[in-house]
Every structure is written in C-alpha cells, then in structure tokens.
Structure 1
Amino acid sequence: ARAVVANVNPKLLYEQLLEPAQVPAATRERMAQWRCGSGTFRMNVALSRLPDFRALPGPGPHLSAGIIMAPSLDYMDRAWLDARCDGWSREPIVE
C-alpha cells in the first residue's frame, strides 16, 4: 500500500506488527532509536449516577464525553510540562 493507517503506537507497528522486509531500512533505524512512553495514569471508576455540576446542572451534551477537571489552560500546560520533564505531574489533571 502507498499508505498505512493504524491506531497503534508507531514503534509497535513498525517493529512488531509489520515484517521487517516491509519496512524501509531508514524507518526501521528511526524506530529503533525512537523513545516513547506514556505520561498518563488511568483509573476507571464506576459512579452510581452521572455528575450534576453547579455550573451546568442537569442532563445534557456536557455529560456525553470526557470531562476534564482543571482550573485553567495554564494549569493544564504546567501539568503537561511537569509530566514531560519529570515523568509525572505534581498537580495532575483529572479527566
């Protein structure tokens, strides 16, 4: 194929899911050197009911996707920078 679309980490795709002969040498070399990791911790919890926020009470589309709990974009940026530099954030974002 001229293009490959995959919903998987590129290192996993190029090093484990495709045959080495199918991957150009330059790409194999780049993937061998590419460092990847996750800056997230995930914990799934079960709620007895959907949340009811004072700022937007009742049901609605605001409850149909992920909810990010952070006081500001600056806070979220600092959390990301912490995680990138230190491997974890001193003040993490809750989603």
Structure 2
Amino acid sequence: MKKLFFYIFIDMTGCIAVKAQQPITVESVKANSLYTVQDSVLIKTKDGSYISALVVKKREIKKPLPVILQYTIYARQSDINKVKLAADKDYVGIIAYT
C-alpha cells in the first residue's frame, strides 16, 4: 500500500510541475527567422479612413502566393496563430482590423 501511495504521489507531483505552454506573440514570430511579419500595415480606403492589417508569410518564398484574408473588428492575442497557420500552409495570412 505504501508503494502504491508513493507512485501515485510521484505521478501527481509530476503532473503539477508541468508548465503551461507559452502563448505565441507577434514578437516571438518576428524573432523566428522562418517568417516575415508586418504588424502595422495601414490600408487607406476610398473614403479616407484606414484599416490596420497584420501580414505574415514565409520568408523563404519569393514568388506571389494566394492570400487568406480575415476581417474583424476585434484584435485578439490569438490572431497571430491564425495568420501563422496560413503561412505554414504556403499562403500569405492577413488579418485586417477596422
């Protein structure tokens, strides 16, 4: 019984000691040499207002690529994950914000 308790205790403490994975940030993706990140792109519309965009693509690819464009009014920390995923699948990932 003592051995069983010891193994359960070791197993539980091992699970508790596991750290949560750090979230991906724009800065961490910029630091990664695989991607080109433009996080302050301003697009002027016909009426003179601006749309802000986050653009990510693979650095090694120089040819024109198709684009996955997402448009939202909400800026979220997880947006970089979405455009990075698009870049990983050989697209240019763009999220535009009003």
TM-score interval, normalised by the smaller of the two chains: under 0.3
Identify which of structures 1 and 2 has the higher relative contact order when contacts are C-alpha pairs closer than 8 Å and 6+ apart: 2
**More helix, by proportion:** 1
Say which one has the larger Rg. Answer: 2
TM-score between the two structures when normalised by the length of structure 1: 0.25
TM-score between the two structures when normalised by the length of structure 2: 0.25
